[in-house]
Amino acid sequence: MQTLDLIILTAFLGATLLTGILQGKSNRTSNDFFLGGRALPWPVAMLSIVATETSVLTFVSIPGVAYRGDWTFLQLAAGYIIGRLLVSTLLLPAYFRQGVTSIYEVLGRKFGIGIQKLASATFLTTRILADGVRFLATAVVVEAVTGWPTSLSVIVIGVVTLTYTLSGGIRTVVWLDSMQFMLYLFGGLVTIAFILDHLGLSLFGALQTLHDAGKLTIINTDSHILTNPWAFWGAVTGGALLSLASHGIDYMMVQRALVCESLSSARKAMIGSGMFVFTQFTVFLLAGSLIYLYAEGAPMQKDREFAYFIVNELPVGLRGILLAGVLSAAMSTLSSSINALASSTVTDFMGGNASIKTSRFISLAWAAILIGIALLFDENDTAIIILGLQIASFTYGGLLGLFLLARSSMRPAPASLATGLLASMAVVIVLMQTTNLAWTWYILCSTITNILVTSATEIIQKQRHERK
């Protein structure tokens, strides 16, 4: 990095810290700290949802997908929009009607506090493992782009993010998420403009060249929808189910909708985020395709195509902007995780009875665990990293099954619900190990397993009780 790049990065980190410190004065209660007084504008919440789900891995790997292949990834993004429509119809109304702080309170009111805590513990485990190793993977990418050692990347990102998250709470997290999203989206647009100018092509001319090379295919017509995750119907269905689960029963994502003042605003934020994610993916797929033209399709390390371009091809200044975009993607995910973990802990395990000082202390503890996981493991711990990144596949279907059961007239016993949840996790392991079923169907199979096993267990328990 050159001096100008370092100045841009330093200014970005300094402005981020200052924003968090200044906004911290508006937090007087734990409700302010975790839900921003339920008064944040829906466009800001919408952009925060997009920023939260966009990690550095997404930021650098989506261009790589287009570099190595085509645009069939957009099929998944189309499914995301459908999934968020389902969230807005099936789940958000209950969250606002019951006025919950943690979405797992819905389960507690229907099935008892034990199930609420079980669901929350499942969420906490999912987030800490997934985000801990995602943070590590992020640091590895930041190392490749900046040249910083992995440990230094972890500490810099962790300390800056922790400082503004502890000070400003969810209000600062959401506002900064929005600004960070605009920054890394701008980085993608800068990349597109730079390459078009360098190649002397218009956007239309570049798209025509890519189309002729077969690089703009969006719809995969493969009929093997059960084994090929990118076959059209499998990808769209998988994207819809993944979005229904991740944005409907994962508190880190739903929390962004709960900061809105009304159900109508929350729906706008949720559905709008799907549109923006689709747009974002389009921008970065186009960037990856143009890098393919720029590099004339030269072989590159997988998922490092964009990072290589940033480091080796962008001029001084533009490189600093893109590096700030990389850090933005990293911090938006980490800050959201810290605040959501603390909020779920306070609400589900402490009954919401915590001062803002205690809330900040719990946030600090979760941040320390996330940073510790990233520092403890390294890039060579492949099995652990893969497990961490896949952990949501094991839990999303089971949690979604619990929320669907909560919408029904059934009132299964806690033991039946716990059995169904465990069975839903086990079936994913079985599917992974023994079948060629595409991962896009795991959540559906897991959800159905939970509902069927819970219902069957409940019937068996009632029959035994009647015999006695």
Note whether residue 437 is domain-resident: no
**Cβ atoms < 10 Å from Cβ of 57:** 18
First to last CA, the chain: 76
Q: HEC states along 171-198?
A: HHHHHHHHHHHHHHHHHHHHHHHHHHHH
What single-letter amino acid sits at 379?
Answer: E
Note whether residue 255 is domain-resident: yes
Give dist(CA 23, CA 244) in Å, integer.
32
Tokens of 181: 């999203």
Task: Output the DSSP codes for 375-444.
Answer: HHS-TT-HHHHHHHHHHHHHHHHHHHHHHHHHHSS----HHHHHHHHHHHHHHHHHHHHH----GGGHHH
Note whether residue 127 is domain-resident: yes
H or E segment and range at residue 305: helix 305-312
Give dist(CA 322, CA 50) in Å, integer.
18
Instruction: Please tell me the predicted confidence (pLDDT) of residue 384.
Output: 61
Q: What number of CA atoms fall less than 13 Å from residue 81's CA on the CB side?
A: 12
CATH number at residue 294: 1.20.1730.10
- The answer to whether the beta carbons of residues 143 and 153 sit under 8 Å apart is yes
Predicted model pTM: 0.92
Note whether residue 131 is domain-resident: yes
Note whether residue 65 is domain-resident: yes
H or E segment and range at residue 357: helix 356-376
Query: Quick one: CA torsion of 241, 243, 247, 249, rounded to 10 degrees?
Result: 20
What single-letter amino acid sits at 305?
Answer: E
Instruction: Please tell me the predicted confidence (pLDDT) of residue 147.
Output: 80
Query: Quick one: CA torsion of 107, 427, 391, 168, rounded to 10 degrees?
Result: -10
Identify the segments of the chain with pLDDT beneath 50.
Answer: none
**Cβ atoms < 10 Å from Cβ of 55:** 23
Give dist(CA 332, CA 137) in Å, integer.
15
Question: How many angstroms separate the Cα of 239 from the Cα of each of 84, 175, 402, 437?
Answer: 10, 27, 20, 15
Note whether residue 451 is domain-resident: no
**Cβ atoms < 10 Å from Cβ of 369:** 15
Q: Which residues contact 217 (CB under 8 A, 6 or more apart)?
A: 70, 71, 72
Tokens of 117: 């805590």
Question: 207-254 pLDDT, tens per residue?
Answer: 999 999 999 999 999 999 999 999 999 999 999 999 999 999 999 999
CA 274 to chain centroid: 12
Give dist(CA 53, CA 55) in Å, integer.
6
Give dist(CA 172, CA 391) in Å, integer.
28
Instruction: Please tell me the predicted confidence (pLDDT) of residue 339.
Output: 94
Q: How many domains does the chain have?
A: 1
Give dist(CA 351, CA 395) in Å, integer.
24
Q: HEC states along 14-67?
A: HHHHHHHHHHHHHCCCHHHHHHHHHCCCHHHHHHHHHHHHCCHHHHHHHHHHHH
Instruction: Please tell me the predicted confidence (pLDDT) of residue 380.
Output: 66
Note whether residue 398 is domain-resident: no
Tokens of 199: 């190649």
Give dist(CA 210, CA 402) in Å, integer.
45
Domain span at 185: 3-389
Tokens of 176: 């900064």
- CA proximity to 450, closest of 415, 423, 414, 412: 423
List the alpha helices (DSSP H) in 200-299. Answer: 203-212, 232-246, 251-258, 263-294
Note whether residue 311 is domain-resident: yes
**Cβ atoms < 10 Å from Cβ of 7:** 13
